[in-house]
A and B are shown apart, each in its own frame.
Chain A
Amino acid sequence: DAGVTQSPTHLIKTRGQQVTLRCSPISGHKSVSWYQQVLGQGPQFIFQYYEKEERGRGNFPDRFSARQFPNYSSELNVNALLLGDSALYLCASRYWSGGPSGYGYTFGSGTRLTVV
């Protein structure tokens, strides 16, 4: 069973350009969330989607947008790239593990975005 898959693994873009990152959750998982991890920091929440609807949004500018498709895969779009957008972008698949364990999150390997 495949884990959370993200593409591409690495990307180099120029300031002002737009980028689209892709994520496929674990089969059967309906919730996907996106995180930005800047070097030396912990991951920061960007978006959460469940059943194709946005269920949460972090403190990021409107240049960041996302969507979820009927097959539960997701895309993160960033417009008008800035140097500060350089980071590892992580996608997480959220699932209900049942009983007292509550929700679980499985992360992908991430997309390393470099803005030059």
Chain B
Amino acid sequence: AQRVTQPEKLLSVFKGAPVELKCNYSYSGSPELFWYVQYSRQRLQLLLRHISRESIKGFTADLNKGETSFHLKKPFAQEEDSAMYYCALTGSQGNLIFGKGTKLSVKP
């Protein structure tokens, strides 16, 4: 079964602290993985994808096939990072399969 698991519903950190949002997946073969972000009152938007190995807004994510994980990390959280974060993979029908999301709250 193709599945994305985000174990934390809510993650609360202080400004300047490191952040790690966890994502585990279940997929046969080589998955195509993404992180999407939804800021308050804004549309869902792509943050980064594993295939391009990019760093956006200081966030990075490394695919670990052995642990079937794609955790999102940032060394120093900013208040403007507060948002809902969704991990997703491309399913067999070309659709996106999302996790339930983690709400990141960065406190001043």
Contact = CB atoms under 8 A, between A and B. Distances in A.
Interface of A: 3, 31, 33, 35, 40-45, 48, 55-58, 90, 92, 94, 100-110
Contact of A42 (B49, B52, B100): B100
A102 B30 CA distance: 13
B44 A90 contact: yes
Nearest to B34: A105
B35 interface: no
Closest 4 interchain pairs by CB? A56-B93, A42-B98, A45-B95, A107-B44
B49 A102 contact: yes
Most chain B beta carbons < 10 A, residue from A3, A31, A56, A90: A56
Given A103-B94, A105-B96, A43 B44 contact: yes
Contacts of B49: 101-102, 104
A94 B52 CA distance: 17
B94 A94 contact: yes
B51 interface: yes
Interface of B: 4, 6, 32, 43-46, 49, 51-52, 86, 88, 90-91, 93-101
A74 to B, nearest CB: 14
State the main secondary structure of chain A at its contact with B.
strand
Contacts of B46: 104-106
A57 B91 CA distance: 11
Given A42-B86, A108-B43, A56 B32 contact: no
Nearest to A6: B43
Nearest to B90: A103
A104 B93 CA distance: 14
Given A42-B86, A109-B43, A48 B94 contact: yes
Contacts of A48: 93-95
15 contacts: A41-B101, A42-B4, A42-B86, A43-B44, A44-B98, A56-B91, A56-B93, A90-B44, A92-B96, A102-B51, A104-B49, A105-B46, A107-B45, A108-B43, A109-B43
Contacts of A33: 95-96
B94 A43 contact: no
